Amino acid sequence: MGAVATADGVVAADTLRITEIFYSLQGEARTVGLPTVFVRLTGCPLRCLYCDTEYAFHGGEIMSLEHIADQVAAHKPAYVTVTGGEPLAQPNCLPLLSRLCDQGYEVSLETSGAMSVAGVDPRVVKVLDLKTPASGEVARNDYGNVQYLTPNDQVKFVICDRGDYEWARFKLDEYTLGDRVSDVLFSPSHEQLAPRELAEWILGDGLQVRLQLQLHKYLWDDAPGH
């Protein structure tokens, strides 16, 4: 089914390693709740302490871009999200994104903020994480990505504690993120920070950010395939 490794193990140029392709409701960001096809690429160079997709670090199946596009099209979606792992860790993510845009979908890319988004098709909605101190990966943030953000993009902070919140508030000001993107998302780390507590901090400080709860965790308890 689309595996294109040759007999000598050489992988053809137009392929990606894919953990899963599935149809579900968007759990996060601006299109939360809308039916969406997810293409989850395998592999991530980061190891965030709260990672909920460790099953995507290894394994997966090599597929041609054409086969991936066919799998997506079978669901007749309006929205497609390319995620991981860290999708940009595989260079062929870029042509996949353009190909999906060419097919007429609204395409979003969930990326860790650790890899350059310079080459991402401008039609793609970038949902860029900035890793907070309690993620354990704050040193991996590539702040050069901020210059590539557009009013169609979104920035996400996963907040684990008050220290993360203060750090995110500082970054919000430092990079004038509210003026650059459509949405700044403050998401409480599941089972680490009570959503109500984060809500009260946001209101107390009058921050113009969106509190984001991860819908899929409430609906499906984070099971793969949703």
Q: Is 27 annotated as a binding residue?
A: yes
Q: Is 83 annotated as a binding residue?
A: yes
Nearer to ligand SF4, 90 or 112 (CB): 112
Stretch that binds ligand SF4, among 79-87, 162-170, 173-181, 208-216 (CB under 6 A): 79-87
Q: Please tell me the distance from the alpha carbon of residue 94 to that of residue 43, in angstroms, as a whole number.
A: 15
- What tokens appear for 177 in the block? 């993120």
Neighbours of 80 (CB within 10 A): 25
Q: Please tell me the distance from the alpha carbon of residue 182 to that of residue 98, in angstroms, as a whole number.
A: 21
Q: Is 163 annotated as a binding residue?
A: no
Quote the least distance from Cβ 200 to ligand SF4, whole Å.
25
Quote the least distance from Cβ 52 to ligand SF4, whole Å.
7
Told to check if 85 binds ligand SF4 by CB under 6 A, we report yes
Quote the least distance from Cβ 86 to ligand SF4, whole Å.
5
Q: Is 44 annotated as a binding residue?
A: yes
Told to check if 47 binds ligand SF4 by CB under 6 A, we report yes
Told to check if 84 binds ligand SF4 by CB under 6 A, we report yes
- Which candidate, 118, 122, 116, 21, places its Cα nearest to that of 65? 21
Task: Give the one residue of 11, 25, 32, 51 binding ligand SF4; rule: CB under 6 A.
Answer: 51
Q: Which amino acid is at 183?
A: D
Within 87-126, the residues that bind ligand SF4 by CB under 6 A are 112
Exposure string for 135-157, b = 16+ CB within 10 A, e = fewer: bbbeebbbeebbebbeeebbbbb
Told to check if 60 binds ligand SF4 by CB under 6 A, we report no
Q: Is 40 annotated as a binding residue?
A: yes
Q: What is the CA radius of gyration of the chain?
A: 17
Told to check if 43 binds ligand SF4 by CB under 6 A, we report no
Q: What share of the chain is helix, strand, coil (3-state, %, to 5)?
A: 30, 25, 45
Stretch that binds ligand SF4, among 40-48, 94-102, 149-157, 185-193 (CB under 6 A): 40-48
- Which candidate, 112, 103, 135, places its Cα nearest to that of 41? 112
Number of residues that bind ligand SF4 (CB under 6 A): 10
| Contacting residues toward ligand SF4, per CB under 6 A | 44, 46-48, 51, 53, 84-86, 112
